Amino acid sequence: MSVIEAVDNKIYFRTRDELVLVEAYGENCVRVRSTRRGEISDEGWTLLPPGDAGVKVTCDGERAELRNGGLTAELYKVWGGYRILFRRHGREILRTREEGDPVRRYSHISGDCYQIKALFEPNPGEHIYGIGQEQQPFLDRKGGAYELVHYNTKSSLPVVYSSLGYGFFWNNPSPGRCEFTNNHTLWQADSAMQADYLVFTGDTPAEVMNVYCRLTGFPPEMPDWAAGFWQCKLRYESQEDLLEVARKYHGLGVPVDAIVIDYFHWTEQGNWEFDPELWPDPKAMCGELYKMGIRPVVSIWPTINPASRNYRPMDEENMLVRTENGSYGIFDFYGQQTFIDPTNPKTREYVWEQIKKTYYSYGIKTFWLDEAEPEIHPQQFGNLRFHLGNGANMAMLYPYYYAKAFYDGLKSEGETEIVSLTRAAWPGSQKFGAIVWNGDIPSTFEALYESIISGLSMSMCGIPWWNSDIGGFHQGDTESPYFRELIARWFQFGLFCPVMRLHGARKRMTNQTDRHPGVKEPSGGDNEIWSFGEANYPILRDLILLRARLKPYILKHMKAAAETGAPMMRPMFFDFYEDETCYGLSDQYMFGPDILFAPIYRQGETNRRVYLPEGAWVRTTDKSVHTGGGYVDCEAKIDEFIAFVRDGADVIEVF
């Protein structure tokens, strides 16, 4: 006999095989949890405590309704089970679906854990955005199926925005799957104690994003320097190599705000220190960089092996990711490695103490948190043991706690301008100043387009600080016409990204010599703006100079992101949500509320169509004014980009 009842403004549904709880979770938000265990867990993972909500619940024993602002959730009995109907201002936006015996949604794994599915009816004509970064060309996720898992180039955040005006957060850090097909919507956790999801609404995309950030956290304000140009390559082998590049930029009058010291500057994975032979005086190096106005950034890997002096004390105190069965090795890279376990508070404290002695004491306050997924092979999550539990239940949380370790450490030292460059994220990572990038992507025009999709998708998952390796990461031949065209177009895209960072493992040049023979990880080809041909140098230099002039605009709207959750890089529908055309646009976007950017991302292309929403728009190149409400044809030679500014916006003056 199933029972529906209302207790303390919450709705409970009880039947032989399932317990369901529907409740308000802050204004305009409803949280649903269901389980076969007989009791609901209060585990919230990365959710923040809910704010106040004006809630009204009614129940007659056959159905119950919860009203919270403009959102209504109605739970009602059906033969053999129940369904939940969500309405926004009276209009249906989402409805659960049953397929056969409801218990089929729970497949027992072990103990109290199940593979759990939540099924919903499809909505014809609905557009779905989010899910994190996928290396594929579809901004609209409707019609797609996606693994919920992190790996290099893929960071899954189980958050979506619907064109029907609601957001959805699948609050389960287990690896899993989601599908947005024509016959159903599916969310699946491979191993969990309960289903847990939140539905939230607003009258605009900005309002929906604001609710989401109240659930998971707002980003801090972006520091002035982080909004500028970042110089990076794989890799500067020594202190002198890095300083030579910094000095040359400084001498040319090209502003570099950050320069990155990439991996294998250390003595051993897990030692987190400079190799004294190639980096003899880090403090003096940092002092010189700061005098030039350049911020040093250091790559950190969470890998560790028995050759590290930190391995034994960390291993004995269970501060490392362990295996349920077999030996310690879960990543083969210069020998078997395991990873630190940042889900353990002791790990976070221990690692920060090492970082403080070997980097922070020299003046390094910003870190590149590589391998943040973490990268394990094979990806057998059920064989991993973390402080918080088995990896099949919570492995997706790793990048969240990895970023938290450095945020908390820097904050404990009194730092206020905290950002970290990280290769993966989870809902809530934004509040730790996580700047996410999309990993080791190829140097191709196809990857350039997919990066546009990744950046916009991450924005709709509450990650406003995002970037890609300008030029792509691997297979870039700096002496080829193909790459020289690609780097110019990617630089233009980088100009209109929240962070502008040049990076890549370029192919070694025909005349390149080894600067430090025998080094474990030799540098790739040169990757500075003078490395891509004489014709490209002034193009790239001018883009960096323009970025410097755009800083006040960027910082203004990054401050708005910290206050409201509105991302800097956003799909066209974010600002023009009443314009149906904007929901189908994936290759142009708004950079803040006033700049419309339409990147060129095909080889050899110099012309493309651009959609201008209603209003007057000024082309940045010639200051011509165009009336919106339709498409315009635009030309942009290799030294030009296509951007428009709202007529009357002050930012037009910097172009």
Catalytic residues: 370, 373, 440
Q: In terms of C-beta density within 10 A (0-12 exposed, 13-18 middle, 19 or more buried), how is residue 327 classed?
A: exposed
DSSP conformation letters of 478-495: TTSHHHHHHHHHHHHHHH
In whole angstroms, give the CA distance from residue 34 to residue 145: 23
In whole angstroms, give the CA distance from residue 651 to residue 570: 18
Nearest-10 Cα torsion for 529, 532, 534, 538: -40
Encode burial over 141-164: b for 16+ CB neighbours within 10 A, e otherwise: bbeeebbbbbbbbbbbbbbbbbbb
In whole angstroms, give the CA distance from residue 386 to residue 390: 6
Helix (H, G, I), strand (E, B) or coil at 339: strand
In whole angstroms, give the CA distance from residue 207 to residue 203: 6
Q: How many residues are recorded in the chain?
A: 655
Give which of 564, 575, 592, 574 is closest to 214, Cα–Cα: 564
In whole angstroms, give the CA distance from residue 194 to residue 35: 5
Encode burial over 115-138: b for 16+ CB neighbours within 10 A, e otherwise: bbbbbbebbeebbbbbbbbbbeee
Residue 463 token pair: 């990650």
In whole angstroms, give the CA distance from residue 36 to residue 5: 18
In whole angstroms, give the CA distance from residue 630 to residue 609: 10
In whole angstroms, give the CA distance from residue 28 to residue 48: 15
Backbone angles phi, psi at 195, to 5 degrees: -75, 145
